[in-house]
Amino acid sequence: MIFVFQVGELVRRKGSVGEKRMAVKYVWEGAIPLQIHLHKSEVASHPPPPPALVLAPRIGYLPLLVHLIKPYFKDSLPPGEDSIWFDYKGLPLKWYIPTGVLFDLLCAEPERPWNLTIHFRGYPSNVLIPCEGEDSVKWNFVNSLKEAAYIINGNCKNVMNMSQSDQEDLWTSVMNGDLDTYTRLSPKIKMGNIEDEFSRKASVSSPQSRQGGTEIDVAGQVKTARVPVRLYVRSVSKDFENLEDVPEMDTWDEISYLNRPVQFLRKEGKCFTLRDAIESLLPEYIRDRAQRSGEEGEQRTTDASDVSQETRGELKLVRIQGIEMKLEIPFSWVVNNLMNPEFYLHISVLVKEPQR
Amino acid sequence: MDSAGEVVNDGKITLEGFTVAARAFADKWKRHNLSFPPWSWIPLINRTMLKKEEGYLSLEKIIILSSLEGSAEEESLDVTADWSEKEESIDHTVLVQNEEDEAHYYDYHIVYSASYMVPMLYFRGYSSDGKPLSLDVIKRDLPSSSVSLLLESKWTFITQEEHPYLNRPWFKLHPCGTEEWIKLLSESSSSDGCQIPVELYLVSWFSVVGQVVGLKIPREMLI
């Protein structure tokens, strides 16, 4: 079921290992109820079949649900071979984006259940890369895992050196939403963690501190590290009161997709927040902080009067795993608890364009 | 970026370095590779970082024509069209003669990968009616040396992936190992084993990668 919880509360309780497992468990159990309609051009039976109701794991992918959906429609399909794809209000859905991310991005106002259309014919190969079912999704997953490994460790060796059976088991655990197996297997992936005093008890001798693209300072604490992030930016030109007023998306060209690592910086006494991370990727949407650069330790003013909101772009909404994020949350906590199984943090952002 | 602020480090290049290298590459190409149209720099307007411009290099509508006599000649270059008037004219360069009876058009984009910190080559082929060419057909247009390289190498392979900015399926040459052979190139080309200067980074990179897709660069560009 869809979950909503107060992220702030979880962070305030001093991060212990038990609390972390709870957040990750919520992420793995998160799901979107889908109502899937067969496209009317493919209905070859009378009366037309009712929609299929499926609970889709947030960390999963739409093609993996086909075996649950197809039984509803197989008697209605016209003859021929299947080439399956989904659309939301006419927009073909990119099958390699996790289902939860698609939902957070495309439904400004969350739609429950989420109404999607399934097609078994007419694959739009001019816009969507081909999908041959589970194999394609698995290939995409492993590829993303390698890319994340390269970003975190500076090389892909950890993934390349995994045995075939470990890779299979890892993929199966993701497909089945089996967090216990995944947790048991993840030390074999040898992926570094980012740690600071805000994520959990920082351990100087932790075997999991990052190698490769990491600088360690005198105390042995991680100073800089690269974090795999996929940022999906949807921009609107006009401001809006309610999320239901956000216009629908017609094409993927309306989304700016940034597949770019965040440089995690740890400065003594300062917390690297989610705001800092987003600012490094989208500097034009974060308030001008030049005035405050010389004011160490002072409260951040949230007074908007000295910033011209008309000309500057504005971050309206930041969603991760369906949660509307407060930007002051420590980025290390966000990454360690809300990342997807391939070690990428997917962030959906809604912005109001700056007026240039 | 590392603490020394180097734009080229260990065979890899920063985003800022890529922008500089791209401009230098396009300039040299224009000066020394007159039988080809020039590369264009396509800026990414949505993504402008403060004071930095991001973008990619584009070379489009390169034709591979069918052969009347049957044998493929890799070096035959037939300069046609005037690409200074870009708007309506079809800019094309005959590269190689293929075996089939139709013209194949190719577009090439050099895109920066922030994850791997190296450039990546994306390309696609299509026939004159705009229909995309499959990888099997494309492989037949590649030099035969490339095809065996692609089959044998675990480092060099082509996959179909979504173009990072254009929301369309393109083909990509995989970047795995790029920084290793770039390092080898810089070690062998300079006496003191120094890094490749940023202006030559893409030239060096392309001298290897371009060959896989049948695009050769004149030696003058490497100076």
Do the interacting molecules here have an ipTM over 0.85? no
Q: DSSP letter string over B60-113?
A: EEEEEEEPSSS---TT--EE-S-TTSTTTS---EEEEEESSSS-EEEEEEEEEE
pLDDT digits (tens, 9 = 90+) for B38-62: 999 998 876 544 445 789 999 999 9
- Say yes or no: A97 and A10 in one domain: yes
- Domains of chain B, with CATH numbers? 7-215 (3.30.1460.50)
Domain of A320?
226-288+311-352
Question: Are A216 and A223 a contacting pair, CB within 8 Å?
Answer: yes
Measured CA to CA, the distance from residue B83 to residue A352 in angstroms comes to 39
- Say yes or no: A26 and A119 in one domain: yes
Q: Chain A: nearest CA to B2, how far in angstroms?
A: 9
Report the CATH number at residue A149.
1.10.246.190
- Say yes or no: A168 and A73 in one domain: no
Helix (H) or strand (E) holding A104: helix A99-106
Q: How far is CA A186 from CA A161, A173, A174, A191, A192, in A?
A: 13, 11, 11, 8, 11
Report the CATH number at residue A86.
3.10.20.620
- Say yes or no: A95 and A180 in one domain: no
- Say yes or no: A335 and A232 in one domain: yes
| Residue A220 domain flag | no
Catalytic residue among B151, B176, B184, B194: B176
| Residue A204 domain flag | no
- Say yes or no: A119 and A233 in one domain: no
Chain A CA closest to residue B52: A283
The tally of domains found in chain A comes to 3
Q: Are the beta carbons of A126 and B168 separated by less than 8 Å?
A: yes
Q: Chain A: nearest CA to B151, how far in angstroms?
A: 19
Q: Are the beta carbons of A260 and B116 separated by less than 8 Å?
A: no
- Say yes or no: A28 and A139 in one domain: no
Q: Are the beta carbons of B115 and A256 separated by less than 8 Å?
A: no
| Residue A74 CB coordination number (10 Å) | 11
* B176 flagged as catalytic: yes
- Say yes or no: A108 and A145 in one domain: no
Q: Are the beta carbons of A127 and B164 separated by less than 8 Å?
A: no
Hey, what are B175's tokens?
């970047």
Which of B3, B12, B14, B47 is most worth mutating to test chain A (most A CB atoms within 10 A of its CB)? B47
The pLDDT of residue A136 = 95
| Residue A209 domain flag | no
| Residue A168 domain flag | yes
- Say yes or no: A259 and A149 in one domain: no
| Residue A205 domain flag | no
List the pLDDT tens digit at each of the 356 positions of chain A: 334 444 544 444 444 556 667 899 999 999 999 999 999 998 888 888 999 999 999 999 999 999 999 999 988 887 888 899 999 999 999 999 999 999 999 999 999 999 999 999 999 999 999 999 999 999 999 999 999 999 999 888 889 899 999 999 999 999 999 999 999 998 888 887 766 656 543 333 334 444 444 555 544 455 678 999 999 999 888 888 888 888 888 999 989 999 999 998 888 788 899 999 999 998 877 655 443 344 444 444 444 444 454 566 788 899 999 999 999 999 999 999 999 999 999 999 999 887 75
Task: Flag whether residue A250 sits within 8 Å of chain B, measured between CB atoms.
Answer: no
Q: Are the beta carbons of B115 and A259 separated by less than 8 Å?
A: yes
Dihedral-angle region of residue A77 (phi above 0 means left; psi in -120 to 50 means alpha; beta otherwise): beta
Chain B CA closest to residue A228: B115
pTM of the model: 0.84
